[in-house]
Amino acid sequence: MNLAVIGVNYNNTPIDIREKVSFSRSQKEKAGKYLIDKGIKEIVILSTCNRSEIYVISENLNKDIETVKNFYKEFFNIDNIEEYLFTKENKDALFHVYYVAAGLDSMILCEDQILGQVKEALDFSIKHELSGKVLNKLFKEAVTSAKKIKTDLKISETPISIVYIAIKILKEKLGSLKGKKACVIGIGEIGRLALTHLLEEDLCEIYIANRTYNNILDLLSKFHNVKPIEFEKRYEVIEKVDIIITATSAPHTILDFNHMKKIHNNLYIMDLALPRDVEKKVAFLENITVYDVDDFKNISEENMKKREELSEVAKDIINSKVEEFIDWSKGIKVDSVIKNLNERCNEIKDEYFKYIDKKLELDEKSKKVVDKMLSSALRRLVKDPILTLKGLKDEEKINEYIKVVNDIFNF
């Protein structure tokens, strides 16, 4: 098994670049099929507001890493993308999967959305037949490990998310949300979470807009005391509110400068989308304050200290899980060789059974006896080599023995 992850994230890549390499669902499907056609064995694409990462299982790691790098450059048409792309291989890549799933690599340490996003990335790959035995096992193990870390270490006793921090900033800037009016645009996971937080505050009115109006109506049974509005009327409502939280999956901006410059009320906008929902120039309007996801990097440090201490303990747990997965993956290599040996035995058995049957014209009872004897003899022949392979622990020896078996039997 050769594993690699190639991509960009908030650690070293500005939002201007990240939003350009954010995958829509249709782009993920197109990208996955393209890379599979290029010879990559398995793929999972994780695309969030803070990261765009492609995980691959490969038979030729160096070649496939270059394939993914070139794909990023050509698919998104960004000549300088290699300045930002990072690559992690094998054990480092394994650690990264567990680390990301647990929220330890998130802008807001141990935030709660990433676990769902990791699960969605795997589900998408399974649905579109992009992943296989190794990545399916790895991502499921990472999700299970992340849940255990959060439970055992009580990392998420107080749920922390980008939305949580956004609401905290609004309270700091406005003094209180009591009597304020807000509009949430987008009803995905982040939009619904924003509604949940806002409904806990004593706001005067909460509006909700979405491109598909009927989807809002489906939410009204869960979110009471919110006012649905048609997407096309969003600017009319914006003139009435103090706060906008926007989190759509639109590939383009949905609040443009020409409309927003006509707004005269003081307004705080929390743009939690990637690509961003708000045109950049809107931030220069005197009466409007815009925050995007990168503005949360240095916010709420007091909430992070305890979590950072806990994350050091979590790293030890992850290292243990990584070693367990490496042991499992060694077995995958051996299982493949054992499967080939058994298939070769069956081929030989079938060949000689046909020869014996033709020469001796066996009755049905004799055929069963001969078939069983041939199978038994061939199984005994490969029994010791198989037991030896299964007993190997050292990866170098495993690779050495596998090469010998492959060469001898021309696998």
Residues belonging to the binding site for NADP(+) are 186-191
Q: How many CB atoms lie within 10 A of CB 121?
A: 23
Active-site entry in 49, 110, 183, 345 = 49
Instruction: Report DSSP letters for 55-84, one per residue.
Output: EEEESSHHHHHHHHHHHHHHHTT-TTGGGT
Taking the CA atoms of residue 9, residue 11, residue 14 and residue 19 in that order, the dihedral angle to the nearest 10 degrees is: 20
For the residues of 269-314, what is the DSSP string, one character each? EEE--SS-SB-GGGGGSTTEEEEEGGGGTTS-GGGHHHHHHHHHHH
φ, ψ dihedrals at 361, nearest 5°: 50, 65
- CB–CB of 283/290 below 8 Å? yes
Binding-site positions = 48-51, 106, 111-113, 117, 186-191
Token pair, residue 267, equals 């307004």
Q: What Cα–Cα distance (Å) separates residue 169 from each residue in 27, 72, 177?
A: 34, 35, 11
Residue numbers belonging to the annotated binding site for substrate: 48-51, 106, 111-113, 117
CA distance 356 to 348: 12
For this structure, is 110 an active site residue? no
Amino acid in the structure at residue 80? N
Q: Which of 297, 302, 257, 294 is nearest to 275 (CA)?
A: 294
Reduce the DSSP state of residue 110 to 3 states and report it: coil
Beta strand spans in 211-250 (E): 227-230, 243-246
* Amino acid sitting at position 154: K
What's the CA gap between 202 and 182, in Å, rounded? Answer: 11
**Residues involved in catalysis:** 49
